[in-house]
Structure 1
């Protein structure tokens, strides 16, 4: 497979013209057009066609765009790894964390790391736990920090994960809520309107698992947000219940802006995990970040 020609086709499709692709790739327009036509002839296909004054993709051309995008994205990642190796202590550290991690844990670790490695670019992506794991597996992140939601972690010689914290989830309401500081059953609290994050978030997954274990109808999610802070602020405003990590909830309980609901006979353990490639597969500065995290857990 001629990857060079596929790259030419990809940039023609991406920019919408041979002229723009030529400017980006610093290859002459006739050379690009000739190589793509030769590739089409050799494979008995048509990828591009003239429609009026425009160059458009054929149905087959459109099908190729998504896998080519993934292919050249991986190529960029490989080149980035090689560049990081040569440029140490410069490089890029890509961290994918769930909302809990990026709002409570990662800011301090990233700050401490940058104080030691000022030349390393730190890129932090906030997502849910499921997608954080996916980014690690797809080599879109070097480090993933997430809650244990039961997603199988790759069993291989490449990846590893370790427990950072043993946390628990708590039911939280505004101080004026009827269940504020009360002891209730899961069935009672589940009858209230809930404010939660999107599907795939760890707290939501655990809440619905608890309801399944107790054989009760799960609550209606009346308000849904894609961020932890938005969820908390909506609860603080006085509407509904949320199910949140104690790392987030306990400081707010102490401030008096949220109160806990004591739901009897409920176990809501939550493990916060760090996933990465194994030490021997990591650049030194990434290993240094992992060591820094482990060293600062107690603090």
Structure 2
């Protein structure tokens, strides 16, 4: 007991010295809640688990992923928007629940007012995948088949207001064919519905492992360039589709409005450091994400621009 008592001041001195050297932290020792607004197994969930571990290591605290799914990601986003702004409740957002879903229903939050941008995770690749029984191998073939079989095709998505929902509607509009939207409570069950043959088509990165395993057929990819997991699969734009589509393919970290600037700056620094870690980058790329570091201000401008563009598109499609 005497030895422990003598050692305690020394340990505290070393801890304080480390804190002073690194700069005062805005975070206490209590766990940080990392809200994933989609079910386990979804792309958002996979990314949340990679980044929560990386962020926890750099902050020196426990970062716990909580899945709060529902309403195309709006349930989890609202939870964070209404949370105490103490930097201990964060949202792993995808573009869908910030720039699409708020145009479609009363989600209970304003993404431009009620959430504070923290850091961009990166641009998301995606893949247009069909059930192998569908006799198509290209976008042109899909369009031709859909036109010859009016009203037959349906497409699965992670829910109303998800990026997959909007992209499916845009593909049908550009291809001038009818398709029925089949929303699911997350991208994993949506992909499984296509694997089972209950749905014909999905546009989502979650389909990638099914394509690689031969359970689905990839006919196009979406992203800034060809997806390195599928170098032989042409992009949508290479097949003369999707050039005017709004950009709904990104993930980012957000906090409640009113979170102190110092805490956001600290989170941004650690988050961007994590993105530069080769192991983290490799993990994110496996899930179809190209990491991109950005400031909170750059992310705020991105959200505002994509929110406006998606709203215009949804109204044109008469979805909103």
**Residue of structure 2 equivalent to 1:220:** 180
- Residues in 2 aligned to 1:180 and 1:238: alpha-carbon distance in whole angstroms: 17
Larger Rg: 1
**Residue of structure 1 equivalent to 2:81:** 137
Task: Tell me if the contact between 1:161 and 1:273 (Cα under 8 Å) persists in the aligned partners.
Answer: no
Is the counterpart of residue 193 in structure 1 residue 154 in structure 2?
Answer: yes
- Report the CA distance between 1:226 and its aligned residue: 0.9
The alignment partner of 1:184 has SS state of helix
Uncovered stretches (5+) of structure 1, i.e. residues with no partner? 1-84
The alignment partner of 1:298 has SS state of helix
Is the counterpart of residue 294 in structure 1 residue 294 in structure 2?
Answer: no
- Residues in 2 aligned to 1:154 and 1:285: alpha-carbon distance in whole angstroms: 21
1:127-173, Cα deviation, whole Å (9 max, x unpaired): 334444433333374233212544574158x7225442223443212
Q: Which has the higher contact order (CA 8 A, sep 6+)?
A: 2
**Residue of structure 2 equivalent to 1:4:** none
Partner of residue 53 from structure 2, selected from 92, 111, 114: 111
Uncovered stretches (5+) of structure 2, i.e. residues with no partner? 1-24, 103-109, 221-235, 283-320
- Report the CA distance between 1:295 and its aligned residue: 3.2
Partner of residue 244 from structure 1, selected from 186, 196, 203: 203
**Residue of structure 1 equivalent to 2:314:** none
The 1:265–1:228 alpha-carbon spacing in structure 2 relative to 1, beyond 3 Å, is same
1:35-59, Cα deviation, whole Å (9 max, x unpaired): xxxxxxxxxxxxxxxxxxxxxxxxx
Partner of residue 274 from structure 1, selected from 252, 269, 275: 252
Task: Tell me if the contact between 2:131 and 2:197 (Cα under 8 Å) persists in the aligned partners.
Answer: yes
The alignment partner of 1:179 has SS state of coil
The 1:185–1:178 alpha-carbon spacing in structure 2 relative to 1, beyond 3 Å, is closer
Partner of residue 261 from structure 1, selected from 202, 206, 219: 219
- Report the CA distance between 1:272 and its aligned residue: 1.5
- Report the CA distance between 1:113 and its aligned residue: 4.3
**Residue of structure 2 equivalent to 1:231:** 190
**Residue of structure 2 equivalent to 1:58:** none
State how 1:194-213 maps to structure 2 within 5 Å.
Answer: 194-212=155-173
The 1:88–1:200 alpha-carbon spacing in structure 2 relative to 1, beyond 3 Å, is same
**Residue of structure 2 equivalent to 1:13:** none
Higher strand content, 1 or 2: 1
The alignment partner of 2:209 has SS state of helix
- Residues in 2 aligned to 1:218 and 1:293: alpha-carbon distance in whole angstroms: 43
- Report the CA distance between 1:105 and its aligned residue: 1.3
- Residues in 2 aligned to 1:137 and 1:159: alpha-carbon distance in whole angstroms: 9
- Report the CA distance between 1:117 and its aligned residue: 6.2
The alignment partner of 2:78 has SS state of helix
Task: Tell me if the contact between 2:36 and 2:76 (Cα under 8 Å) persists in the aligned partners.
Answer: yes
Give the CA RMSD over aligned residues: 3.8
Task: Tell me if the contact between 1:145 and 1:274 (Cα under 8 Å) persists in the aligned partners.
Answer: yes
- Residues in 2 aligned to 1:175 and 1:218: alpha-carbon distance in whole angstroms: 20
- Residues in 1 aligned to 2:132 and 2:203: alpha-carbon distance in whole angstroms: 16
- Report the CA distance between 1:219 and its aligned residue: 1.2
Count of residues in Structure 1 that have an aligned counterpart in Structure 2: 211
- Report the CA distance between 1:204 and its aligned residue: 0.6
Point out 4+ residue stretches in structure 1 off by more than 6 angstroms: none
**Residue of structure 1 equivalent to 2:129:** 172
